[in-house]
Structure 1
Amino acid sequence: MFDQVEGQVRSSVEWLRLLVEALGALVIAAGVVVVVVALLRQLLTRRDSSFVPIRLAFARYLTLALELQLAADILSTSVAPTWERIGKLAAIAVIRTALNYFLGKELKDEQASEAPALKREPGQAGRA
């Protein structure tokens, strides 16, 4: 009976992992759609504008996707925690955490540099 329950738990966690990975991919796809629409809108309306707001929007999608992918990796390791899988998870977690940290840092830096420009151009603040 214990083996049957363990098998059901493993199966459920694998399905959850797959769902979380799919959500991460969907978040990236949604970010790409948002970026393409914003780029087209910008190219059709104003050519001399900065791409920073578009980059910031895409970075937010990537940050969320990285968190979801890390969660999927944690789920995957929780099902069958061998030392090899734990080592791979640790390496992936370090890499993704570093990417997320630097992406977040870049977001903050870009937002800080954009804030004075938006204050100087009050009519430009509402446009994306």
Structure 2
Amino acid sequence: MLRDVVDLLVRLVEAAGALIIFVGAAWAFGRFLRAGIRGGVGRQFNRIRLSLGRFLALGLEFQLAGDVLRTAIAPSFTEIGQLAAIAAIRTALNYFLGREIAEERAEIEREHRKEVDGSRAPEGPA
């Protein structure tokens, strides 16, 4: 009985994670296509990538939550070891994705500052 409930919860949580990743990928692809049609892919690329990274990070968190739930009913050390390996891989992916998101955010902020500084015309002698 408990095993069935936990199995159902694991499937729901993992399905939510997969759905989040799919929605993020579809959203980013749509934004990429719109930017391409408008001729602004270069300017929008980092923002689109940053948003996709956030969706991926959230989806991976849900996948990791499913792994944690699954360990509650893992009957053998072999299964626990396999789950630990999967959780470690997902945690590492999430860590590096988080770092990349931070780098993208910093790059976007630098570009924005350049645009703001470039739009301010220097005042000449009056």
Q: What whole-Å deviation, never above 9, does each CA across 1:83-109 have from its counterpart, x for those lacking one?
A: 011111111121111111111001111
Q: Which has the larger radius of gyration?
A: 2
Where in structure 2 are the equivalents of 1:110-125 lying within 5 Å? 110-122=104-116
Aligned equivalents of 1:87, 1:80: Cα separation in 2: 10
Match of 2:84 in 1: 90
State the TM-score, normalizing by the size of structure 1: 0.82
Q: What is the RMSD computed on CA atoms of the aligned residues?
A: 1.4
Provide runs of 4+ in structure 1 moved above 4 Å: none
Cα distance, 1:16 vs. partner? Answer: 0.5
Match of 1:100 in 2: 94
Match of 2:28 in 1: 35
Q: Percent sequence identity over matched residues?
A: 45
The alignment status of 1:75 with 2:86, answered yes or no, reads no
Aligned equivalents of 2:107, 2:29: Cα separation in 1: 23
The answer to whether the Cα contact below 8 Å between 2:74 and 2:80 also exists between their aligned partners in 1 is: no
The alignment status of 1:9 with 2:2, answered yes or no, reads yes
Q: What whole-Å deviation, never above 9, does each CA across 1:35-91 have from its counterpart, x for those lacking one?
A: 111111101112442411111111111111111111111212211331011111111
Gap runs ≥5 in structure 2 = 117-126
State the TM-score, normalizing by the size of structure 2: 0.84
State the one-letter code of the partner of 1:31.
G
State the one-letter code of the partner of 2:23.
A
